[in-house]
Chains A and B, each alone.
Chain A
Amino acid sequence: MTSAPVPEVLRAPLVVEFPFTRSLGPVQSAFLTGLRERTVLGVKTGDGRTLVPPVEYDPATAEEIRDLVEVGDTGTVTTWAWNHEPRRAQPLGTPFAWVLVKLDGADTALLHALDAPGPDAVRTGMRVRIRWAAERVGAITDIACFEPYDGDGAPQESAPHSGEFTDPVTGIGAPARLDYTYAPGRAQTAYINALSEQRTVGERCPACRKVYVPPRGACPTCGVATAERVEVGPRGTVTTYCIVNIKAKNLDIEVPYVYAHIALDGADLALHARIAGIPYDEVRMGLRVEPVWTEGGRFPDHYRPTGEPDADYDTYKELI
């Protein structure tokens, strides 16, 4: 056992990405379908205000609101902010202004981008109009952006609209990607580094003396930091298991296979691994196993029987 110096901390990119699918409900469906048809819809509240973009529930009263009206594609900037360095996936790739725009006929403002030559060309109260995207699919991005508009500022009356369109959009795809840098911290870094030498190293709690593998930096029952490193295994005992009969996504393992909890010798709780080198239906609780490493593998590929006699139930029942 050693208290080794802290090696360089590990880091790796972590991408959280998913193509979410969103169903819209009637009001949002009408609004986004309308954008596809270059028609901007708002919704009337009980007290006669017109909300654009239209929401399903009145923010002031919580009442459900469904009376749609058509408003103009021109409007007035109510506030703005100059974005000289557009970020990924924002509406424009060149410097632009974020704007809240009150469209003619609306009582509330919509957030979008304004294409303007520079901050000096933008002011609150300026008139703008929608620049439609060339290809529209029924999404807020069907508005490519706003652009300055020097036409007449006569506010238009909003006109009732059925909200009905042919081939309405009922859902949107909402792909989202966030990039993180993952760093597992001190204790796990030490564990991972030891694994690269095909050793399994846990940490012992200074209070209860239990050995944690993988170590997490704290003894979860005592709530104190762990630091004393202890090499465990390599052999261990199968405490319990299941036989997996369905292929998990992205896993290139033939089914059926055995997924087991293994208490490595010297560890005070079990870790999880695959068992091979024995017919799946001969795996049993108490089976003694050892790790099998493959070239360049970060973890043991699987565990296989050692040939030792099975462990007695009483020796591992507290570790299940």
Chain B
Amino acid sequence: MAPRKPSVMRPARDVAVVAFGQTDHLRTTDELSEVEMLMPVLHQVLAATGLRTSDIGFTCSGSCDYLAGRAFSFTMALDGVGAWPPISESHVEMDGAWALYEAWVKLQTGEADTALVYSYGKSSPGSVRDVLTRQLDPYYLAPLWPDSVALAALQAQALIDAGETDEPALAGVARRSRADATANSHAQLSGSVAQGEYVVRPLRTGDCPPVGDGAAAVILVAGERARDLCERPAWIRGIDHRVEAHGLGVRDLTDSPSTRLAAERAGVFERPVDTAELHAPFTSQEIVLRKALRIGDDVTVNPSGGALAANPMMAAGLIRIGEAAARIHRGASHRAVAHATSGPCLQQNLVALLEGDAR
């Protein structure tokens, strides 16, 4: 990775997450089309703020055609928004965390003061392990069909070889996450979950995220207005994202320099955080992220249960930001870091730093 030393980026405009909503995350949702699954969540965040679609200055969504098996699948999801009269709107073929980033940028320009961000993913129609092989180098990797668990397992073994973790420690991450998820009514997997058999060794079923469907939405507001719409807004003090080289063989799989770089630029290291919502679909990835983000034992990590409790593809990253914000909304956190990832073995990472008003 190219040596770059970004300074902390201070946003010109204060922008806050003022509302967050998510569906219950389920193994299958056959009875619902994507828009039928998404719409209640959109209504939820609008109701929470008292805003109507016509009050929203910018709308941005994240989703992925390959999950649905259909081109342009996002166009029909727009039905749930009520885009009439026409709206200022955009879409990323990425996790909704990056849709939130695009919306945050839009608010930075001053062209909009409020933004609706949503994302959704149904992993149930296809085999997500196989689908994800299609995002690999199409010449050297995709023809081998290495599935997402296999790649994560290579990373986990590298961590074990480096002495950074072992199977009992990974089981501990799994246990803690599912135990914490009992407090999260939307979680797909919670409570006492057996570590199970190997899926791809060294990863067991307990180390892997559940496969499921879900959606999430967030409302962003710039400036003082945020305080009118939310008792305790979650201010985005910094947000940044970075990508790494694609090839697994050229990366140090035990580290996440892109996460560290994004965190530096977002200002995460300036003062301690109390909460971290990390998008670590596999237990081993939490180990990598903790190191990159310099998270100590005094930080509450994934109180929602994280992606090990619910991992709706394309929404799970946005949900990390939403969960961190919701914790600030209810006064359980003052300064939180939220993280989202994309690509094989944490190739691309986004970091957001959220703060509540001092009390």
Tell me the A residues contacting B by CB distance below 8 Å: 6, 9, 11, 14, 16, 20, 22, 24, 28, 32, 51-53, 55, 59-62, 78-84, 87-91, 98-100, 102, 108-113, 119, 124, 139-141, 172, 174, 176, 178-189, 216-225
Contacts and interface: CB of A to CB of B under 8 A. Distances in A.
Contact of B139 (A140, A183, A217, A221): A140
Interface in B78-115: 78-84
B247 A108 contact: yes
A80 B154 contact: yes
Given A80-B154, A90-B145, A218-B80, A187 B69 contact: no
Given A32-B139, A80-B154, A182-B125, A98 B146 contact: yes
A220 B33 CA distance: 14
Interface in B282-321: none
A219 B247 contact: no
B76 interface: yes
Given A16-B69, A220-B79, A124 B154 contact: no
Contacts of A221: 82-84
Contacts of B1: 59-60
A78 B158 contact: yes
Interface stretch (B9-17, B219-227, B229-237, B248-256): B248-256
Interface string B62-87: 00001011000000101111111000
A179 B30 contact: no
A14 B69 contact: yes
A9 B145 contact: no
Contacts of A110: 140, 249
Interface residues of B, number: 63
B157 A79 contact: yes
B35 A111 contact: no
Interface string B141-171: 1111111001101111110010000000000
A14 B126 CA distance: 9
B81 A91 contact: no
B146 A79 contact: no
A107 B87 CA distance: 51
Contacts of B155: 79
A176 B84 CA distance: 39
Nearest to A89: B145
B39 interface: yes
Interface in B176-214: 198, 200-203
B42 interface: yes
Given A90-B145, A108-B247, A186-B32, 11 more contacts: A52-B249, A60-B2, A82-B201, A89-B145, A111-B248, A119-B201, A180-B69, A186-B33, A217-B36, A218-B35, A221-B84
A135 B140 CA distance: 18
